[in-house]
Amino acid sequence: MGLFDIFLKKKQIDNNLQIHNKAIIKNTLKYADSSTIDSDEKPFYQPDEYYTLESYPGTPMAQKVVTFEERKKTTFPSTNGLYVAEILLLEYCDNGTYPKPSNGYPGFWWFSYGIRDIGHALELLEHRGFIKWGTKIELLSSLKVNELKEIASLFNIKTNQNKQKLINDIKNNVDDSQLPDKYFSKKYVLTELGEKELNENEYVIYMHKHKYKTRDDVPKDLSFTVWDINELLANNDKSNWRTIVADLEQKRVGIRIADKKQDISQNKAKDNNILYTREEIISYIDSIMPEVKEASKKRGDGYKEELEGFSYKNKDDKKALYYLYIAIEKRFDAPALYKETAKILRKYKLYEEELRVVEIGLDNINSNSSNRELLERKDKIKSLIVKNTK
């Protein structure tokens, strides 16, 4: 037997061993119980075998999932009795997309927060008075601009205006009972108690999106998780949460972010379309990328995400960017996707990021006429980058 034959035989043995090991892992995996999930909610989850009792099973990164009930035993509830995951659910209800979000429930609800049945968790929040079913008027902001224009035209309301003005005019001129059912599906909104709870526990949302948060299983002196902040705030005034979080940020990553004072006058334009500081958008983009990549793996070509992003334009740039980036990650080939994303980034003078987005667009768009406009934008960005580096 020659050396080449020996090499091939060894390679075959290695491949067979890998297949055997994978089979062992697959046969020994256990999955979270999904028996309580209503059948009409099933399509909004990944297949059951996705929800393993460990994250990254069979790898060195494997980590046991701590269920919500287990987590309650080691963490502290809010003044109104809500735990971290429940407070985060309020944030998602505040967006007007839960239950049954168009992109499905993200995997982090199970792997990071131990909740397998989101629908049931929402029902409990409703029962306790934190959320309620939204009226049609309350859900107008969750509609797309073209849907709002269609409604406006039915009642002789001016359609050539931005989303917020459309919503205001519809609210001021149309009763809830007059709004056509076809534009609305049942979604939760926050009650006054829910809004109060969310405002009092902002640290949960902040830590959920934090780019420097650590895994749960790192040593205590290195740990930087929402659970660490939850413990620190248990006997402290939560109105001072930014200072407390910034102190821990200083220890863990060497910088203070949470309590950093922003000079709004320097970072915001005079018009109301600039909704955040430049630094806030930079931090936000960094924080959402893992979530964006996960969401982009779900079915669909990016069309729905593009429309969802457009619906938040000039109302909430962060939410707009979240959905637009998912569509970009899916390599959707609509020129408007890249142009509108670039416009938002331009507002905050994020020229390098704008250039990256435009270059992705040029790779994905085949139409020469569309490319011409993107190429012109690319040249303009490059000149802005040069100008701002002098």
- % the chain with pLDDT above 90: 44
pLDDT-derived band of residue 265, with 50, 70 and 90 as boundaries? Answer: very low
pLDDT-derived band of residue 15, with 50, 70 and 90 as boundaries? Answer: low
Q: Lowest mean pLDDT: which of 238-242, 324-328, 362-366? A: 362-366
Q: Which residue has the higher pLDDT, 18 or 230?
A: 230
340 closest CA partner among 374, 372, 364, 367: 374
Among 8-17, 190-199, 269-278, 357-366, which range has the highest average pLDDT?
A: 190-199
- % the chain with pLDDT above 70: 86
Cis preceding linkage at 99, omega within 30 = yes
pLDDT-derived band of residue 162, with 50, 70 and 90 as boundaries? Answer: confident
How large is the average pLDDT for residues 320-326?
Answer: 93
Distance CA 277, CA 382 (A): 22
Per-residue confidence (pLDDT) for residue 99, from 0 to 100: 94
Spatial contact of 233 and 226, defined as CB atoms under 8 Å apart: no
Per-residue confidence (pLDDT) for residue 126, from 0 to 100: 97
Task: Scan for tokens 């697959």, then name that residue.
Answer: 26
Token pair for 305 = 């995400």
Spatial contact of 257 and 265, defined as CB atoms under 8 Å apart: no
- pLDDT at residue 53 above 90? yes
Q: Could you give phi then psi for residue 293, rounded to 5 degrees? A: -65, -40
Task: Scan for tokens 């309020």, then name that residue.
Answer: 90
* Burial class of 125 by CB neighbour count within 10 A (0 to 12, 13 to 18, 19+): buried
**How far is CA 320 from each of CA 101, 130, 174, 176, 317, rounded to the nearest angstrom?**
16, 26, 27, 27, 5
Per-residue confidence (pLDDT) for residue 271, from 0 to 100: 43
pLDDT-derived band of residue 177, with 50, 70 and 90 as boundaries? Answer: confident
Per-residue confidence (pLDDT) for residue 39, from 0 to 100: 94
**Pairs from 195-202 (Cβ < 8 Å, separation ≥ 24):** 195/94, 196/80, 197/78, 197/80, 197/82, 197/87, 197/90, 197/130, 198/87, 198/90, 198/91, 198/94, 200/78, 200/79, 200/238, 201/78, 201/82, 201/87, 201/238, 202/241
Q: Lowest mean pLDDT: which of 10-19, 95-104, 270-279? A: 10-19
- pLDDT at residue 78 above 90? yes
Q: Which residue has the higher pLDDT, 365 or 135?
A: 135
- pLDDT at residue 3 above 80? no
- pLDDT at residue 262 above 70? no
How large is the average pLDDT for residues 200-220?
Answer: 92
- pLDDT at residue 63 above 50? yes
Q: Lowest mean pLDDT: which of 106-110, 265-269, 292-296? A: 265-269
Q: Which residue has the higher pLDDT, 319 or 142?
A: 319
Per-residue confidence (pLDDT) for residue 112, from 0 to 100: 95
- Look over the chain and give the mean of its residue pLDDT values, rounded to a whole number: 85
Per-residue confidence (pLDDT) for residue 253, from 0 to 100: 87
- Tell which phi-psi region holds residue 302, choosing left (phi > 0), alpha (psi between -120 and 50) or beta: left
Token pair for 327 = 């569509």
Token pair for 172 = 């001021």
pLDDT in tens, 126-157: 999 999 998 888 888 878 888 899 998 999 99
- pLDDT at residue 330 above 50? yes
- pLDDT at residue 368 above 80? no
Q: Lowest mean pLDDT: which of 47-56, 265-274, 310-319? A: 265-274
